[in-house]
Chains A and B, each alone.
Chain A
Amino acid sequence: MLLRNVFLKSLRDLRWPTFWTGLGLGILGFYFMWLFPTIGKMMDLQSILDAFPPALRALIGGQLIDLGSPAGFLNMELFPLMLPLILGGFAIGVASGATAGEEARGTLDVLLAEPLERWAVLTEKTVAIVLATIIVAAFLLVGVWGGAAFTGTDLALDKVVAGLVVGTLLALAFGGITLAIAAFTGSRATAIGITGALLVATYFINALAPMVESLNQIRGISPFFYYLGHDPLRNGLDLGDAAVLAVVAVVGFAVSLVGFERRDLAA
């Protein structure tokens, strides 16, 4: 059944990375919610955090930290760094494999000798990647929900979903950039390297922007600005932010189509 077409075959290829990354994130989500009642009651910790120098505070979650509420707790522990790193890393990894991985292994020649358009192959693979990324995020949701239910924590699940939606879009934005670089260069390492560096650099631009005026001026170029900028864990989904990230992902995909369509494939 999973060998019917390129889309299903791609899902099949992604099933274990998706499962293990999802399981890891899910356990992490459960773990944090399980910790929350203990840590949330340690008001001392909040006062220690409040006494942190602003630079350090900014790095671990900025103004969003409020250990007393589950949303604030997740804003510090899971969402600012852990989720982009793991979910974004996942999207970058699988996106780099879509064409460049097959090209390096030599299976792309076989695939494209079949009656398939190049754009169709790339599109089917991309849809599989998007789906896999959503599935990983869903694992996390289940973990967080499970942890909250287990400890009887009152958590606004719709707000967590809002955070996960922008989180997934952030990951897909980086995935789209990876796809574009991989399609143009055919090099998996180049695609991972450049996008990985971009992820780290734009993270710091956004995190340090409140302290550094020059960074504050260019904060808008960082995808992270559109991720937690409007605090989705408290305020729900900001459609504008979501749209910006979605546009980056779609543009990346569109660019990859152009690059893949016109290039000589490596033998």
Chain B
Amino acid sequence: MTASGPDPVIRMEGLTKYYGRSRGIVDVDLEVRRGEVFGFLGPNGAGKTTTIRLLLDLIRPTRGRAEILRLDPRRDRVALHRRISYLSGELTLWGDLTGAQLLRYLGNLRGGVGREELGRLADRLQLDLARPFKALSRGNKQKIGLVAAFMGRPELVILDEPTSGLDPLIQQEFERLVEEVRADGRTVFLSSHILPEVEHLCDRVGIIREGRLLTVEAVADLKKRALRRLEIDFAAPVPADAFVGLSGVRDVTVHDGIVRCTVLGSLDALVKTAARFEVRDIHAIETSLEEIFLAYYGEEANIHAAA
């Protein structure tokens, strides 16, 4: 399904996790390449956090395997964790410690992080380091987690829902941090259920639903292959049944002489049908990844055929 990079940072082969009888993830094959920003997309409960926790050896796979930086998550955990960092989706830290103390503690556990680097990161995110963690707002807690994830120049930064709770300005700074990691040749693996956030950040995205990886694609390709929303303006009213049921065409609404629909893949059928009537105008409305994403969910069978 995925093109095999020369030096994958993350490789999952048939990675599967059941919690008793309930599904976590099933047969996930995925490679993340060095130097890319990879978005792991899916709604809540799809298996994003399960996948990440398997990579970190917080839980163990039912079957299949994962490899990070050519190391085994369980056997080589200490060597591996020195080179990666992680931001939990539901970040909880020791509430009585201040931001400065938390970052010092985590830095110590990691073998020491420069005071200067910490200060610089904290400044960029406008972090209040003096207050105890439990007294911070959700957004400020998240900032502490972000500093912890980016400090010490990890080769791989794993972020579970990193932008939840950040205000827009901080979001921008976060995006710059991600860019810097990419520019540095290091790798970011981030999960999200908020697609617009991923669209401009990621090189490639994997879409996971109900524990199964549906597709992995370059963001550029995904947008090119596009789901298009079209509005066709006819000179006279047209019958709806002419457009409903055309291949790749859906969400058809006909109002007087105006037909609105979305098209997945080829426009051929729609254009040929429209040509039977007098066309005044055609508008294409650019679709967000969100819509592409939702289209995948509706057309799961098509996607498997296409992939």
Contacts and interface: CB of A to CB of B under 8 A. Distances in A.
Given A110-B93, A113-B81, A113-B86, A264 B109 contact: no
Nearest to B55: A113
Contacts, number: 69
A82 interface: no
Given A109-B58, A264-B60, 9 more contacts: A3-B104, A13-B94, A106-B88, A109-B53, A112-B58, A113-B86, A115-B111, A116-B78, A117-B78
Contacts of B53: 109, 265, 267
A63 interface: no
Contacts of A111: 109
What's the interface size class on B, roughly? 20 to 34
B263 interface: no
Contact of B109 (A106, A115, A265): A115
A116 B81 CA distance: 8
A3 B92 contact: no
B135 interface: no
A155 to B, nearest CB: 40
A6 interface: yes
B105 A3 contact: yes
A110 B103 CA distance: 12
A149 to B, nearest CB: 37
B106 interface: yes
A23 to B, nearest CB: 20
A99 to B, nearest CB: 13
Contacts of A109: 53, 56, 58, 88
Interface string A196-230: 00000000000000000000000000000000000
A265 B59 contact: yes
Contacts of B106: 110, 114
Interface string B71-106: 000000111111001101011111001000100111
24 contacts: A6-B109, A13-B94, A106-B88, A107-B94, A109-B53, A109-B88, A110-B88, A113-B56, A113-B58, A113-B81, A113-B85, A114-B106, A115-B81, A115-B111, A116-B78, A116-B81, A116-B109, A264-B19, A264-B58, A264-B60, A265-B53, A265-B58, A267-B49, A267-B58
Contacts of B111: 115
A105 B92 contact: yes
Contacts of A234: none
Nearest to A264: B59
Main secondary structure, interface of A, reads: loop
B108 A4 contact: yes
Contact of A117 (B77, B105, B108): B77
Interface in A79-138: 105-107, 109-117
B58 A115 contact: no
A159 interface: no
A5 interface: yes
B56 A107 contact: no
Nearest to B50: A267
B153 interface: no
B260 interface: no
Contacts of B250: none
Nearest to B79: A115
B93 A107 contact: yes
B56 A110 contact: no
A113 B86 CA distance: 7
B88 A5 contact: no
A6 B108 CA distance: 10
A104 to B, nearest CB: 10
Contacts of B104: 3
A9 interface: yes
Interface in B93-145: 93-94, 97, 101, 104-106, 108-111
Nearest to A121: B109
Nearest to B96: A13
A146 to B, nearest CB: 32
B179 to A, nearest CB: 23
Given A3-B104, A265-B59, A267-B53, A114 B109 contact: yes
Nearest to A3: B105
A116 B82 CA distance: 9
Given A105-B92, A114-B81, A117-B77, A5 B58 contact: no
A265 B56 CA distance: 11
Contacts of B88: 106, 109-110, 113
